[in-house]
Structures are given as C-alpha cells and as structure tokens.
Structure 1
Amino acid sequence: MARGRPGLIAPVAAAVLPLGFLAVFFLWPVAAIIRLGLGPGVGAVLGRAETWGILGFTLGQAAAATVVAVLAGLPVAFLLARTSLRGNGFVRTVVMVPFVLPTVVVGLAFRSLLPAGGPVAIVLANAFFNVAVVARTVSGLWSHVDRRAEDAARSLGASRWRAFTSVTLPMLRPAIGSSAAVVFLFCATSFGVVLLLGGGEYATLETEIYLRTVEMLDLPGAAALSLLQVGAVVAVLVIGAVTRRRATSLRLRGRAETARRPVGGEWGVVAAAWVVVVALLVPIGSLVARSFSGGLAGYRAMTGTGYRGSLQVTGWEAIDNSLRAATDATLLALVLGVLASVAVVSLGRARIRPSVVETVDTAMMLPLGVSAVTVGFGYLVTLDALPGDLRTSPVLVPLAQALVVTPLVIRMLLPVLRAIDNRLRQAAATLGAAPWRVWREIDVPLAARALLGATAFGYVVALGEFGATSFLARPDTATLPVVIGRLVARPGELNNQMAYAACTLLMLVTAAIVIIVDRLRVSSVGEF
C-alpha cells in the first residue's frame, strides 16, 4: 500500500485547485441561497402537483432535445472526422455559431419561424444550440479511431450499418455519452428559449426559479425548485458516469490515417450532415436578414447607447468587454479543466476505487446543471466575505463564465486522454522517461487537437454566456449578449435594430475565432 501512495501525490495535487475553485465559487454560493430559502414553505412547494409537472416538462423537453441534437450531430461528426472534403472548415464554423448566440436572440429567431411556440419550438431551439456539442466532442475522438477494425468487419461480410454499430459505435460511446450529458444539462437549464417560446403556458425549473426569485421574491419556493434541479442534475451525472465506466479501450491513430474520401453509402451520411448544416443556417440567416431590415441603422447605432440612452456603454465597448471577459474566463477554465482531466485520468490509472474517480468527475460537472439565478444571487450573498468584496469587481463575470466553460473543457479532453493506449506510456517509462516527459511526449501530442478544440469551444461559449453574466455584469461593463438582451427588452425600433446588428457582429467574431483556431490546430497537429 505504501508503495502506491507516492503515485497519488501528483493527481491529488492536480485536483486540489479545480475542486477548491468549485467549492468557493459554486458550492458555497449555492449552499448559502438554499440555506436562506429553506423554511416552512418548502414542503408546500414540493407537495404541489404543479411543481412535479414543471419538473416533468423540464426533463422531457431536455431529453427530446438531446435526442434530436445527438441524431443531428453524429452525421456532422462523421463528416468532420472521417472525410477529407472541401468545405469541412466551413461546416466546422457553421455548427459552432449557434452555440454562442444569446438564448434570448435564438428564442426570437425561432418565434419568427414558429409563431405559436410551444414544446416543439422549445425542443428544436434547444437542439439548434447544442448540435455543436455533439459534433465537436464526438469528432474529436472519432478522428483518432483506427478504422481498420471496421474495414475488417466489412471484408468479412458485415453490412456498413452492422460494422458501424458493432465496431465503431462502442468505441465512440464515451464521447457520445459525455456530449449527451452536457447537452441534457444545457437543455434542462435553458432560460431565454423557454421564456420566449413557452408563451407563459410552459415553464421549466429554470424559468420558475427566476420568476420566484426576481418577481415574486419567493426564496423558499425558489430554494425548493433549486433542490429539485440539483437532484435531477446529480442523477443525470451518475448515469453518465456509469455509462463512461463501461467504455471500451481503443487504439488512437492520427487523423491522416482515418480521414479519406467517402465511398458508397458514406455519401448518404455526408448528405445528411449537409442537411443539418443547412437547417442550422436557416435561423442564422433570418437573424442576419433582420439586422438589415432598417438598412444600416442598427450598425450605425453601435457607436451609441441605444434609443434614448437605454445603455451605459456603446455597442463597441460591449464587444471589448466581451472579448476581455471571455479571454480571462477561457484561460482560467483551461487551467482548471486540464488539471481536473489529468487528475481524473491519473487516478483511474492508479487503480483508485472507481467511485472516487467518478465523484471528482461528477463534481466538476455540477455547475452546468444549477440555475444561473441561484449562482448569481449566491455570489451577491457570500462573496463579500472574501478579500476585496468581489461582488462589485469586474473579475466576477470571468469567474462565473469559467464555471460554465470548465466542464466543457473536461468533457472534450477526458475521452481522448482516457483512450490513449497506456502501453505507450508504460514503454516510455520503462525506457527511463520521467512522468512529466511521458505526458509531454505521449499524452500532449495525442490530446493537442482536443485541447485546441476545447479552447475555441470554451472561448465562444464565454463570449455568448448570458444567464449568469446578465445578473453579475455592471451596467458600465456589460458584455455584448447582456446588451442584446437589454435592447430586446426595451421599447424603440432602434433598440431592436441595434440588437440584431450586435447579434450579427457576435456571429462574425465567433466565426473568425473558430477559423483562426482551426488553422492553428491544423498547422500544429497536422503531422498526426
């Protein structure tokens, strides 16, 4: 036993910082709000049939949207990972853009397409957001999977579908499970989409928590719903952890050995992927067209503060605030996410009890499933106890955004790190390589593509984060999504035109970032 302990020092040390960050900036604020809200009224809220109906609708629409996102994302993942076709860079950019859009803007876009709103509109809008999660996460692993096993199955007489379901799909299960868990959590906590498309008839736990906290000042009711939300999230994470535990090991290969020109029935999958891309472009196109409905008036208004001074910052100042906050949040999330991923993988390789490893993994996912309202108000209640009173500091926005981005970094890195053949690492260690050199020579090159993808993904998510930022950003440091939300909510045609112009600019910035990172990714890992 003593001989195994030294090997635990590094992974335990790596887990300290991310778990400490989680404790201070998530668990403490959430616990404070729940403690303040708990009271005699909680039992009454939980005893109402209406409460359980809201829970059922929340889980049902999230499950339906997850299924749609997975079914739509898998053909796109195949296109990006398995084919070498012109236009793949364009596809990669297009699928990323919806994910960064503020929820309130996507809600308006789908309301213009489906005026009646309702459950179908909510499901489609949430799936629209999250196709990128599935496509990018699964393609990151799929691009490394050795396709010779599938080719061997085909040569033995298996149909293309049988070869895929029997050979390739089990290898992709970790990435599919990880992305599905993230999508479900995002859909279960969707706010702006449900608020705009629910029409007051359909509510989720997220919108109900907001209503009770902000408009009704019903902290006991909001606390009870928060408890239900946390319970549902933990259940989903546990199921995801069990699924990942059953993951099979696989041999990673470079993308140059797996990507090729489609053959036979693969062209049908490529066609399905392009149908998904076109479907994603429809709401985006409607937003761009709407931004030019008044000519260039909305874009000219970006130099001002909206109709009758609706804002305290100009549109260009809001863009600068967004870029600064997103940069800080992404850097912090990368440090936390890489440390957490390394800790989880190292603990697993050290043959620590699986429940311990999965507890660390599950803990880092919790911020995705708790209401941004709960976290935001928790910050206002607790963070005055820290030096400098962070409640009035501009640092608070990057901290809140990093909470959302870190789990995404972990989910994109873990499947790749876990899939690396440990025999390579053992061979390097046998030849005298120190642990840090093993990571540098073996793990880092194979995980480089996933890390760069996580960087791009995290940055655009931080750019478009709306929920927590809308509660924490000061009027003079408002980010672009917050400005868009405030403009849409205030009267004046100029405000609407400026909001759609700002949304179009946000999409352009997102596309530029994705293109730049993809070019860097190709140049830095093109040899694999």
Structure 2
Amino acid sequence: MVLRRLVGLTALAAGPLVVLTLFFLLPVAGMVGRGFVVDGSFDPVGVLEVLGRPRVARVLGFTLASATAGTVLSLLLGLPSAYVLSRLDLPARRVVRAVLLVPFVLPTIVVGVAFRDVLGEGGPLGFLGWEQGPVAVVLGLAFFNAAVVIRTVGAAWESLDPRPGEAAAALGASPFQVLTTVTWPALRGSVVSAASVVFLFCATSFGVVLTLGGVRWATVETEIYLLTTSLFDLRAAAALSVLQLVVVIALLVLTARFRAPAAPVARRTSAPRRVRLTDAPALAVTALTLAFVALPIVTLVQGSLRVDGAWSLDNYRALTGRGSDRALLVPVTEALASSLRTAVDATWMALSLGLLLAVVVTRRSHSAAERRVRSGLDAVFMLPLGVSAVTLGFGLLVTLDSGPLDLRDSPLLVPIAQALVALPLVVRTLVPVLGGIDDRQRQAAASLGAGAWRTWLTVEVPVVWKPLLAASGFAFAASLGEFGATSFLARDEAPTLPIVIFRLLGHPGEMNYGMALAASVVLAATTSLVMLAVEQLRVPSLGSV
C-alpha cells in the first residue's frame, strides 16, 4: 500500500519534475559547469581562486550588509504598519493598505528609476547626494520589501484570537507585557518567515541594485550579470552562482524551524478597535511609511511630465515612435504588448505547475517515506527562489542551443524563464490554503461516494479559487517586471518593457531619460492595477519560504 502511494505520488509529480529538470536544473548546471569544467576536465582550483579575489569579498560583504540593512528597515517600517492596518479601525484603511502593498509588485527597474529621480539632482532629496551608493540601495530595497512584512505579518496579526491578550490585560498586564508575553510568541513565526523572505529578496535583488548601485556597489546578483555580459568571465560568474546558492540554502535551513505553521482556512478574527493615544507611535510610523512609498511614485510621475522645465506630455508621445536620437528599438506600445503576451503565457505555465505541486505536497502523508518525498518535492520547487535569475537566463541561453531543445529563437523561452521565477510565489500562495483544509472533509466526501474529481470540486475548489486568482495576479505582475533572466533571452525585435527602460537609461540625453520615466510610469500603472485587483481578494501570501 505504501509503495503504491509512493508510485502514485511520483507519477503525479512527474510532469513538474520534468519541466524543472529541463528548464531549470539543466540550464543552471550548464552555467555552473562552464566555470568548473575546463577543456573537458573538472578543475575547481580556478573557482577557488575566484572566491579569493578581493573584489569578490567586497561584493559578498556588500550583499550581506545591504540585505541585512534592507531587512531591518523593512521590519521597522512594516511591523508598525501591519499592526495599524490589521488591528485599528481607521478611515480608508483598505485604500492605505492597497497603496502600501503596491511597491512589492512594481518592477525592480521601475523602483530603481524612481529612487534615482528622488535622490538625483533636482529631486526632492537631491541635496543629500545619495543618487547612487549604499544608502540609495538600502532605501530602494526597503521600499520594495516593506510590503512583504505588512502583508505577511498583517495577515497573521489580523487572525490572532484577542481573548488571550484581553485575559492578560484583565489580570493587570501592561500593554507592553501583553505584547511581549502574548502577542509576540504568537507572531514570532510570521515575523521570522517575513524577515527571511525579505532578506532573500534583498540579497537577490537585481534591477534596484543595478540602477542605484552601479558597478562600484555591486551585489552577488549584479556582479554575476557584469561578469557575464561585460567581462565574459564565466568561471567567476559560475563561482558566484554557487556561492549565492549555498548562502540561500543555508538561510532556508536556518529559518525552516521558525516557519509559521499553515493556518486553518476558518479562524476566529478580531474586529478592528478604535484608536487610542498609545497607538500614536505606530500611527506615526505608518504615516512615515506611506510618505516613503508615495514620494518616489509621485516624483516619478512628475518627472515624466516635465520637459525643459515645463509641463508636457512629450515624453509619453515619444514612446510611440522611433528616432535617430533615441534608444528605442521598438515603440513602447509594442514593448508593452509584448510584455503582456509574455506575462499571460508565464502565468498559465506557473499556475499549472504550481497548482499541481501544491496539491501533491499538501495531501496527507500515510508514512514517513511519503512525508519525506513530499517535503523533498516542496524544497526542490523552491530552488528558483534562491538561484540568480541572471544565472537562470544565461544558463537557458547557453544550454538550450542544440537538438530538440534548441529554443533560443522560440517565443516561449522568455515565458518559461519568467514562469520559473514566479513559480515559488504561486506555490507559497496555494500551499497554506490547501494545507489548511481538514482532511476529514475529503474523507467524508469519499465515504459518500464522491470520486477524486468530485471531492476536489466540492471540497477544495470553493476554498482555493480566490487564492488561485491571487496567485495569478502575483505571477502576472512578477512576469511583467522580470528583468534578470529576460535581459539575456528577449529578442531585439520583441523586447519587454523593463528591457526598453534599461536601454533608455543607458543612453545619454534628456529625452531618453524622460522617456525612461514615462515608460516606468506605464509599467508601474499596469502592475499596480493588477495588485489592486489582487488586494480585493485579501489572500495572504509569502508567509514562508
């Protein structure tokens, strides 16, 4: 019986495993192999030499330092905001929550452009001289990731049973004692999970660091890109890819013990209460966070509407055509259409794989062997979250270049890469929901004569359809803004909008920079609309890695 269940489990996971092997494990191994294999023989000495370079030590140090600082700042801004938005009865609370959550799905290249405009000459904070450098990088990372803390911890805070805290207060505990003895132990798993996810996103951020850090302030992610595209040093790039993977795996193992358990589908939640005087510090931080989020976006929009010191729509008009003095290879309207088509393909691919995998890993295990297999599958499909998108993109380019897998000129190559990048988001949206369904409901349906499909339709579909829509939104938004892998794979005649923005930034001229701002506004508006639609579903996500 156990063997038959293991065979069935393997057969159900066979499709996703084949896809992951062909389009992730094989390309990454091919990329890494180019660094370790020289003239057909294994040669790790050169890789060790790369890791001993002074610049590599500086890059690794800046990666860890900036990720740590970005995580701390995200927590300092996100935790008070999560409390205010989940526990207090405020006017326009849903609108404020939606605004604070928008940055997470903004493309990283847009966030970088927005902060360059804020911190650059003529920007509202230009007098600080932080246009490029470590401070700009950390601010950009916190802007991008505070939403993860707000969403993850806020969802957990909103679902806490208020009775233990009320009982502690009735026994004479001060608000601080209630926080430290009742609330914090209940929230610790969610906070650690959120912090680990934020640290991972900060350490592997590409567009923000490339735009705000440049060559001097490089992280492991951007250094891999520079080594691959500018210096063609594949051995060094491979060595850094392995180093990044080791650090990410160590982080996942370290935080696994603190992971918050999957919440049941139905939980007692407390109604928001009226604001008290003691809530003033949290409200002040929330207002600061709202200003921190709004300032780059407002400055970006304002900059896109200014030409030669006057208000104008010329930057937007220029997006529809080409010119000898512009960096556009195609009109931005075509690039946006290409991005939308690619995102649709990437979304259905990620949903198909993610839903099947979520079903596999959340079914009840009847033996220790089956439990280990399910846990192993869950871990394997989280690997794309910890591998450089640059490594994946270049690996796909150099690996899928011959025989039946020659896809270099296929329009499906970019959606495949983006689907793999979005897959962990889909899985982490669906797994907690499916895992929270009481297995006795499935058993009851089966005892009444329902088959597997009938049980799925009557028990799980009513619960999972909203999270499935939310996962679609996350995957679509992530695909629209994906830049790392796409920068290698997009064809010149069909670039995505993030590629167009980066090319505009790389060409001198006021018109090119104004067009980059305008194109960034277009991309930000598109992803924001998707995020606002997802927020209406109120489905928690990214609670654990």
- What band does the TM-score fall into relative to the shorter chain? 0.7 to 0.9
Q: 1:416 & 1:336 partners in 2: Cα distance? A: 16
The question of 1:337 aligning with 2:354 is answered yes
Residues 228 and 305 from structure 1, CA distance in 2 versus in 1: closer, same or farther, beyond 3 angstroms?
Answer: same
Listed one character per residue, the Cα deviations across residues 437-474 of structure 1 (whole Å, up to 9, x for unaligned) are 55545544445544333332222121111111121111
Q: 2:86 & 2:273 partners in 1: Cα distance? A: 11
Question: 2:542 maps to what in 1?
Answer: none
Contiguous gaps of at least 5 residues in structure 2: 37-42, 120-124, 540-545
Shift of 1:162: 3.9
Shift of 1:76: 3.5
User: Which of 333, 341, 353 is the equivalent residue of 1:316?
Assistant: 333
Question: 1:408 maps to what in 2?
Answer: 425
The question of 1:293 aligning with 2:306 is answered yes
Q: Which secondary structure state, in structure 2, belongs to the residue aligned with residue 367 of structure 1?
A: helix
The question of 1:260 aligning with 2:275 is answered no
The answer (yes or no) to whether the contact 1:311–1:475 under 8 Å persists in 2 is no
The question of 1:184 aligning with 2:182 is answered no
Shift of 1:83: 5.0
Residues 372 and 445 from structure 1, CA distance in 2 versus in 1: closer, same or farther, beyond 3 angstroms?
Answer: same
Residues 331 and 127 from structure 1, CA distance in 2 versus in 1: closer, same or farther, beyond 3 angstroms?
Answer: same
Question: 1:279 maps to what in 2?
Answer: 292
Say which structure is richer in helix: 1
User: Which of 493, 498, 504 is the equivalent residue of 1:481?
Assistant: 498
Listed one character per residue, the Cα deviations across residues 99-150 of structure 1 (whole Å, up to 9, x for unaligned) are 3334344334334245333323222211111122232334445544444444
The question of 1:31 aligning with 2:29 is answered yes
- Identical aligned residues as a percent: 50
Q: 2:459 & 2:71 partners in 1: Cα distance? A: 34
The question of 1:214 aligning with 2:229 is answered yes
The normalised TM-score by structure 2 is 0.84
Question: 2:80 maps to what in 1?
Answer: 75
User: Match of 2:77, as an amino acid?
Assistant: A
Give runs of aligned pairs for residues 422-441 of structure 1, distance below 5 A.
436=453, 439-441=456-458
Question: 1:19 maps to what in 2?
Answer: 17
Give runs of aligned pairs for residues 6-405 of structure 1, distance below 5 A.
6-8=4-6, 11-38=9-36, 39=43, 40-83=45-88, 85-111=90-116, 112=119, 113=125, 115-116=129-130, 117-198=132-213, 200-244=215-259, 247=260, 251-253=264-266, 257-264=269-276, 265=278, 269-294=282-307, 295-305=312-322, 308=325, 310-346=327-363, 351-352=368-369, 356-385=373-402, 387=404, 389-405=406-422
Q: 1:240 & 1:67 partners in 2: Cα distance? A: 16
User: Match of 1:32, as an amino acid?
Assistant: G
Residues 9 and 319 from structure 1, CA distance in 2 versus in 1: closer, same or farther, beyond 3 angstroms?
Answer: same
The answer (yes or no) to whether the contact 1:82–1:259 under 8 Å persists in 2 is yes
The answer (yes or no) to whether the contact 1:452–1:521 under 8 Å persists in 2 is no
The answer (yes or no) to whether the contact 1:30–1:375 under 8 Å persists in 2 is yes
Shift of 1:84: 5.6
Q: CA RMSD in A?
A: 3.1
User: Match of 2:234, as an amino acid?
Assistant: L
Listed one character per residue, the Cα deviations across residues 155-204 of structure 1 (whole Å, up to 9, x for unaligned) are 44444444444444444455444433332222112223323433543321
Shift of 1:212: 1.8
Residues 263 and 467 from structure 1, CA distance in 2 versus in 1: closer, same or farther, beyond 3 angstroms?
Answer: same
User: Match of 2:287, as an amino acid?
Assistant: W
The answer (yes or no) to whether the contact 2:326–2:511 under 8 Å persists in 1 is no
Residues 235 and 350 from structure 1, CA distance in 2 versus in 1: closer, same or farther, beyond 3 angstroms?
Answer: same
Residues 442 and 149 from structure 1, CA distance in 2 versus in 1: closer, same or farther, beyond 3 angstroms?
Answer: farther
Q: 2:419 & 2:225 partners in 1: Cα distance? A: 22
The answer (yes or no) to whether the contact 1:330–1:455 under 8 Å persists in 2 is yes
The answer (yes or no) to whether the contact 1:238–1:362 under 8 Å persists in 2 is no
Q: 1:252 & 1:172 partners in 2: Cα distance? A: 18
Listed one character per residue, the Cα deviations across residues 328-347 of structure 1 (whole Å, up to 9, x for unaligned) are 21222122222222222226
Q: Which secondary structure state, in structure 1, belongs to the residue aligned with residue 49 of structure 2?
A: helix
Question: 1:525 maps to what in 2?
Answer: none
Give the number of equivalent residue pairs: 517
The normalised TM-score by structure 1 is 0.87
User: Match of 1:392, as an amino acid?
Assistant: D
Contiguous gaps of at least 5 residues in structure 1: 523-528
